Structure 1
Amino acid sequence: MIVNADLHIHSCFSMATSKDMLIDNIAPQAKLKGLQLMGTGDALHPGWLDIIEKSTEYVGGGIYSTEHCDFILTSEIEGEKKIHHLVIIPNIEIAKEIGDKLVSNNKYKDGRPRAKMNGKEIMDLAKEYDCLVGPAHAFTPWTGMYKTFDSIIDCYGRAPDFLELGLSADTDMADTIEELQNIPFLSNSDAHSPWPHRLGREFNQIELQDISFESLKSSIKNNKIKANYGLVPNLGKYHMTACTKCYKLIDPNLAIKNKMKCSCGGTIKRGVDFRISQIATWDTPHHPSHRPPYIHLLPLAEIISMVYDKGVTTKTVQGKWKELIDNIGNEIEILIDAPIDTISKVNEDLVPAIESFRNRSLYINPGGGGKYGEISFDEKLAEKKVEKDNNVTLDNF
């Protein structure tokens, strides 16, 4: 069977996360998105495990089921040097044991525990319990593994089970790095709220023998990921080198020369695009034969927001989104497979936008410094937006 899976989200117990991140909200929204398998996130937090047990039915094989979708236990762990690691866990009993062994002074203060352990120690603990483990959003400048290490082996001592690309990178970018040739890539949302413009904004299409931990483990290890779906990388909020205060895009060499301080007084964060160029083996991607395609995706609500020039969470946008879902199907089907004639019968205004998304003719003002990129129909408007935001080069710092 082919399953759409988003394996990295957070619960209401994590910092900067919506109080609505509960199973009873996540599950129906996942179904509307078109996802069949969800990671629980935060599976080392006792309070979240209690909610999982009360809100789902354990059907065996490490799967906790609802009427809308299935869940598998996952957790992000912040280790030494503030590096984030993603762990996929066989069952609740093992999650509790790992939580007990995690070296941390305040492990249950946050849904994402902070451990006094390096990557090798976290991997060893995960492997002791037959978990899957790899770097979360590996290239991001705050908490990605490559912000600190030039090699994945330097972090873990051996190859991890997978590497999570993160919202600001895709397969083309990661496959310029030779050491990643034999490592499977995951694309997950890292959602902090349950709404479909966040949930499943990146996901994996995986061939599974059945829905179980062992089947997922086998599929990841044996290259049964059929496709990675995710944002166009320059929409990611850390794609370009930029100031975290004024969000100006800044030439990376100039940023380094100025000790990562912006002229406004803010801190400059090295973009994923530049970081990958620093550690890349090749100028162009070298995709191994087992690498699945990476299919760029945009949240449907973001497209509706652009067309109507209204905020994503406004009644206008959410109403148009629900009308499409009610009349056509889940969001993934609408974005990728639904005939244009079918979409036109529900909302003719959106047809040019959906067509532009599918033929990749939308223009993007890239993100950086913690601000997401913006999409536009009009190249000139996009260029004006870049000029307005003062894209800083060596000539105009």
Structure 2
Amino acid sequence: MNHYVTDLHIHIGRTRSNAAVKITAASSLTLENIIYYAEHVKGIDVIGVIDSHVSEILDQIEEQILSGEAYERADGGIQFSNVTLLLGTEIEIYDENCHGPIHVIAYLPTLEKMRTFSNWLSKRMKNATLSSQRIYEKAVTLQETVQELQGLFVPAHIFTPFKSLYGKGVKSSLTEVFKPSLIDAVELGLSSDTAMAEQVTELQSYPFLTNSDAHSLEKMAREYQIIQMKEPSFSELRLALKEVDGRKIVANYGLDPLLGKYYQTICANCLQPMTGRRCLICHSESIIKGVSERIKELSLGQSKVSRPSYVHQIPLEFIPKVGRKTLNRLRAAFGTDMNVIHNASRKELEQVVSPKIVDSIIQARTSDLVIRAGGGGRFGKIIE
């Protein structure tokens, strides 16, 4: 068995022809740049590109296979040098059972099955060339279609206030919208962690994923997991989610939830933290409910599941005084961010950057820094 750094939620900003895919993502977030950054800068072994339904992206991958730049693995996934790409697509659901829009991710094992799924989607959404588009179909029908194509179905960033399962999608239970047996895992999002999510009783049967939801190259692997598999393939990922024969998620790595954009409840008018239902500053009753408060509202219980450890870890770009020049020096010395975060010793780091920055990097490995909580769409902040 081998350990693989895995980030399964990365967007594409632009295609090779410069057509927009994820409109809010950076234009530099192209497939070529994602592959390069994963291998040479971030140190990610397995990536999930969740705009793979776009025809131009599928055409590009097929061309790269024909040219010898990549090949399709027998057990699913596309191999680019030392990076495995898993084909995914993020979809917005808002059927008659939803109380608000819900984002989900479907992962398909092969190009052929993603082509089939892409064609199926195109008949049920208005802009099939864009990311995270609404599907005009029942949620359960979508789940069943993913199952028929031997895919994986994962509700995305499940607690964020907007466009998520528990944000506004359901009142109290995923059974209001989904067929529970057709969910393969859930993605926690940046403002929650295992300790928070495992309080929700109905989630105890699902693996927890921690992914970056990257809208720029630097945001790749701000959250990730290390997965133990025989090889980096789609089939092995499926087995790891089910913990078959030693395959498993070894550990989840993510932001301290305080750093997330939606941890605490914020007044939607003056953007000040608040408790209760009326802002004490401007007296508005319009709020953006924080993830921490929303979880308290849901069905709570004592977790009976033994889960992988969740390591609070602060990405290098979040660390005060680690600017572009310092980041480039670290990468030149140690190769990838994963080497800086996991492997470089204090003595090795001190040969490259100042002792104060070294202290911050060591503290960031376990999120041992003072944080001002985020909320209302603004990230938390590390206090120097």
Displacement, 1:266?
A: 9.3
Q: Secondary structure at the match of 2:90?
A: strand
CA RMSD, Structure 1 to Structure 2 (Å): 2.1
1:293 paired with 2:316, answer: no
- Encode CA deviations 1:262-320: one digit per residue, 9 max, x unaligned: 938795211111100100413xx63612x1011111111221xx136xxxxxxxx1121
Find 1:118's aligned residue among 122, 138, 155: 138
Paired with 1:371 and 1:82, the residues of 2 have a C-alpha distance of 21
Tell whether 2:175 aligns with 1:153. Answer: yes
State the SS of the aligned residue for 1:307.
Answer: coil
Q: Retained in 2: the 8 A contact 1:242–1:248?
A: yes
- Following superposition, the deviation at residue 244 of structure 1 comes to 4.4
Q: CA deviation at 1:331?
A: 1.1
Q: Which moved more, 1:216-225 or 1:242-251?
A: 242-251
What secondary structure sits across from 1:94 in the alignment? helix
Distance apart, 1:78 and its partner CA: 0.6
Can you list the C-alpha shifts for 1:218-261, whole angstroms capped at 9, x where unaligned? 1112261111111111111011111345431121x225xx7xx9
SS in 2 for 1:191: coil
Is the CA contact 1:6–1:37 (under 8 Å) kept in the aligned structure 2?
Answer: yes
Of 99, 119, 123, the match for 2:118: 99
Specify which of 327, 341, 361 is matched with residue 321 of structure 1: 327
2:89 counterpart (69, 75, 85): 75
- Counterpart code for 1:373: G
Mapped to 1, the partners of 2:118 and 2:268 lie a distance apart of: 34
Task: Tell me which residue corresponds to 2:368.
Answer: 361
Structure 2 CA distance for aligned equivalents of residues 179 and 41 of structure 1: 26
Distance of 2:72 and 2:140 partners within structure 1: 33
Q: Are the aligned partners of 1:269 and 1:369 in contact in 2 as well (CA < 8 Å)? A: yes
Q: Which residue of 2 aligns with 1:88?
A: 107
CA contact (8 A) 1:139 1:166 kept: yes
Deviations 1:370-391 (A, max 9, x none): 11000013xxxxxxxxxxxxxx
- 8 Å contact from structure 1 (residues 203, 229) kept in 2: yes
2:18 aligns with none
Match of 1:345 in 2: 351
Structure 2 Cα separation of the partners of residues 359 and 166 of structure 1:
18
1:42 to 14, 36, 51: 51
Q: Which of 268, 271, 274 does residue 250 from structure 1 map onto? A: 274
Q: 1:359, CA displacement in angstroms?
A: 5.2
Alignment of 1:23 with 2:45, yes or no, is: no
- Separation of aligned partners in 2, 1:244 and 1:326: 43
- Alignment-derived partner of residue 255 in structure 2: 231
Report percent identity of matched pairs: 31
Matched with 1:240 is 264
Contact preservation (8 Å) 1:307, 1:353: no
Aligned 8 A contact 2:92 2:134 in 1: yes
Per-residue CA deviations over 1:155-197 (Å, capped at 9, x if unaligned) read 21223100100011100001111111121011111101112xx
Q: Which has the higher helix share?
A: 1
Name the CA shift for 1:217/1:345 in 2 (closer, same or farther; >3 Å): same
CA contact (8 A) 1:62 1:73 kept: no
Moved more, 342-351 or 100-109: 100-109
1:259-298 map, 5 Å: 263=282, 267-282=286-301, 286=303, 288-289=305-306, 291-298=307-314
Seen in structure 2, the aligned counterparts of structure 1 residues 234 and 90 have a Cα distance that, compared at 3 Å, is same
Q: Secondary structure at the match of 2:5?
A: strand
Deviation at 1:145, TM superposition (A): 0.4
Matched, 1:53 2:62: yes
Equivalent position SS for 1:332: helix
In the other structure, the counterpart of 1:218 is 239
Q: Which amino acid aligns with 1:62?
A: G
Letter in 2 for 1:152: L
Once residues 131 and 56 of structure 2 are traced to their aligned partners in structure 1, the CA distance between those partners, rounded to angstroms, is 9
Measured in 1, the distance between the counterparts of 2:330 and 2:226 equals 23
Task: Give, in angstroms, the shift of residue 368 of structure 1.
Answer: 0.6
Distance 1:118 1:271 in 2: 28
Q: Give distance in 2, aligned partners of 1:357 and 1:111.
A: 32
Q: Structure 1 residues 122, 244: CA separation in 2 closer, same or farther (over 3 Å shift)? A: farther
Q: 1:247–1:371: 8 Å Cα contact kept in structure 2?
A: no
* Preserved CA contact (<8 Å) 2:270 2:282: no
Q: Distance in 2 between matches of 1:57 and 1:214?
A: 18
Distance in 2 of aligned mates of 1:359 and 1:96: 41
More displaced 10-residue stretch of structure 1: 32-41 or 353-362: 353-362
Give me the TM-score of the superposition, normalised by structure 1: 0.84
Q: Structure 1's 361 and 6: CA in aligned 2 closer, same or farther, altered over 3 A?
A: closer
- Partners of 2:55 and 2:129 within 8 A in 1: no
TM superposition shift of 1:104: 2.4
Structure 1 CA distance, aligned partners of 2:27 and 2:9? 17
Alignment partner of 1:200 is 2:221: yes
After superposition, give the CA deviation of every residue in 1:108-139 in whole Å (9 maximum; x if it has no partner).
14222320123322211111111100210011
Distance 1:167 1:4 in 2: 18
User: Where does the alignment leave 5 or more consecutive residues of structure 2 unmatched?
Assistant: 14-20, 95-99
Aligned mates of 1:108, 1:207 — CA distance in 2: 34
TM-score normalized with structure 2 length: 0.87
Aligned equivalent of 1:333: 339
